[in-house]
Amino acid sequence: MNNQEVFNGENRNGNLSDFFAGIYRWMAMGVIISAIFAGITIYTNVFSFVFSSTVFYYGLIGIELLLVIGIQMIIRKVTPKVATGLFLLYSAINGITLSVIFYIYDIGTIIPIFIGAVVLYAILAFMGYNTKTNLSS
């Protein structure tokens, strides 16, 4: 899929449903990666390292924001592999910065939220793939 196809809302088959289903699959994967990195951060020494310095923590948030802005600026110029790598990096850093939630709240209340988000994206991907209605609106 080239960038022009993405901007036109099409994919290899020209099917808009496939395009939206792909978006939801990527979002589900991003949530899963964020959850994994949040879990790794909270249950290892990484948590104490990240949160021992407010400068380091806010630096991570700054990197996260720079990634969002930077990806938007270069998305038309990078290869799909680079774009995928940047998305995975963003998801991982997002998980690390959000791991403080695991410290504040009980794990029994957090896991259902992550599972619910993944299930929601999976359902939307399924609906996006199977619906015959124009989903662009």
**Hey, where are the domains in the chain?**
16-130
**Per-residue confidence band for 88, with pLDDT thresholds at 50, 70 and 90:** very high
pLDDT of 10 reads 46
* Selected residue with higher pLDDT from 24 and 81: 81
Write out pLDDT tens, residues 1-26. 444 444 444 445 567 767 777 887 88
**Per-residue confidence band for 135, with pLDDT thresholds at 50, 70 and 90:** low
pLDDT of 114 reads 78
Q: What value does the mean pLDDT take over residues 22-45?
A: 88
* Selected residue with higher pLDDT from 95 and 124: 95
CB 33 within 8 A of CB 39: no
How far is residue 34's CA from residue 89's CA, in Å, rounded to a whole number? 10
**What would the 3-class secondary structure string for the chain be?**
CCHHHHHCCCCCCCCHHHHHHHHHHHHHHHHHHHHHHHHHHHCCCHHHHHHCCHHHHHHHHHHHHHHHHHHHHHCCCCCHHHHHHHHHHHHHHHHHHHCHHHHHCCHHHHHHHHHHHHHHHHHHHHHHHHCCCCCCC
Highest mean pLDDT among 32-36, 102-106, 133-137: 32-36
